Amino acid sequence: MKDGLKICTIGGGSSYTPELMNGFISRYDRLPVKEIWLVDVERGREKLEIVGAMAQRMWDASGHDVKVHLTLDRREALKDADFVTTQFRVGLLEARIKDERIPFSHGMLGQETNGAGGMFKALRTIPVILDIVEEMKELCPNAWLVNFTNPSGMVTESVIRYGGWKRCIGLCNVPIGAMLNEPALIGKTLDELVYRFAGIDHFHWHRVFDAATGSEVTMDIIDAMLDPDKDAGIPANIHDVPFFREQLEHLRMIPCGYHRYYYLQSDMLEDGIKDFNGEGCRAEQVKAVEDQLFELYRDPELAEMPELLKKRGGAHYSDVACESIAAIYNNSNAHIVCSTLNNGAIHDLPDDAVVQVSSYVGGAGAQPVAFGPMEPAARGYLQLMWNMQRLVEEAAVTGSYGALLEAVALNPQTPSGATAKRVIDELLVAHAAYLPQFADKVAELKAAGVTPADPVVADLLAQGL
């Protein structure tokens, strides 16, 4: 690649951007960045300007000659880019509030990437990412797309399956969070352990081995995780409900934090409804944190990432995103857990499935590490969830209401029936501005008088949000 890299970040007005800048700055010796283009939409203009100014201050303070460009013109930002990172949210945080409050208002889980909320985030996001891919084919055909936009697995699979763009990896901060937090639980450091992850985004498991002896230490970590006196490093956005010991002993793999929504479904739903009826759903809590963050970002003297950002829920984003870019640029074949084509890594899914697995990332992208077959409990759930996601992806691309209802029937968080259909219909109406592929169905629902009953959502719609 040429000297002086051009990085394009779509969703550049995100509160995560300072962490991303921090990651590039700390790796400058391995990543000779020359220009960074932060691009956003008109509704995000103010935040883009605030966070963009802070990003430039961070680079100026670093002593490196890097120019941060701000634009609402995506094509200008993509032109001749070497790497494109995506961290955007179609409909901004108001859309996430709808994703969470509408299901909760009907007694169903409302969550960013799981259940009905996750499905609708995918429905809004996949058409946009496919438009981006088409522009990349024209404007930066040799660039790598590094996707952090949720739901990362479905978005990445759509890029590869429907967009035909193979120079793409999908990322999530959950695996790296586990690798950074778990070793200390058993008195080890990360370099003394070997991690093997397998599954799909937000639905993966892992096993751990002693690097010196090869002996498995998975159960040692599980024992420590279940010790109430130890900090297991649960992500900030997930309620800390303990797993059942006997289940994990039988599973003999460590589930990710998001498995709580499936293994402990009723407990997580109860906690979520408490928040919904109290301080607000997670999206509303995040919005309050973001408002505080952007007040900090406005400070012309602030030139480093504030501690408050850790409460946002995306800790270590830059570690995995920037390390992945560095690994590709330097062809270092670093061990990174990412979403990529299966190619036999998980025996229980098709080769062309996009899975989240331990991979060695270098100049040719991600080379997945074989995990082998899974036992029935994990295999059955994984196949169910992957096929559910495939139906969501199909619905996002085709606008098929039937495919969406099939996905609802498969998703454990959206028990099929009249209530689930009502939730889906209200979400379609609430997100009509971002779901043109469902325009005919939305018109039919509006004509039938379908409208979200939740007062917060109704107020957002009245404001045109």
Q: Do the beta carbons of residue 90 and residue 128 sit within 8 Å?
A: yes
Measured at the CA of 462, the angle between CA 460 and CA 465, to 5 degrees, comes to 45
Ramachandran sector of residue 464 (left: φ over 0; alpha: ψ -120 to 50; beta: rest): left
Of these residues, 16, 258, 317, 381, which one is catalytic? 258
| Length, in residues, of the chain | 465
> Which of 196, 161, 176, 153 is CA-nearest to residue 356?
153
3-state secondary structure the chain: CCCCEEEEEECCCCCCHHHHHHHHHHCCCCCCEEEEEEECCHHHHHHHHHHHHHHHHHHHHHCCCCEEEEECCHHHHHCCCCEEEECCCCCHHHHHHHHHHHHHHCCCCCCCCCHHHHHHHHHHHHHHHHHHHHHHHHHCCCCEEEECCCCHHHHHHHHHHCCCCCCEEECCHHHHHHHHHCHHHHCCCHHHEEEEEEEECCEEEEEEEECCCCCECHHHHHHHHCCCCCCCCCCCCCCCCCCCHHHHHHHCCEECHHHHHHHCHHHHHHHHHHHHHCCCCHHHHHHHHHHHHHHHHCCCCCCCCCHHHHHHCCCCHHHHHHHHHHHHHHCCCEEEEEEEECCCCCCCCCCCCEEEEEEEEECCEEEECCCCCCCHHHHHHHHHHHHHHHHHHHHHHHCCHHHHHHHHHHCCCCCCCHHHHHHHHHHHHHCHHHCHHHHHHHHHHHHCCCCCCCHHHHHHHHCCC
Q: Which residue from 203, 164, 169 is spatially nearest to 397, judged by alpha carbons?
A: 164
The span from the CA of 291 to the CA of 308, in Å, is 11
| Cα–Cα dist 354/340, whole Å | 5
Tokens coding 304: 């480093």
Is residue 258 annotated as part of the catalytic site, yes or no?
Answer: yes
Amino acid found at 228: P
Catalytic residue ranges = 258
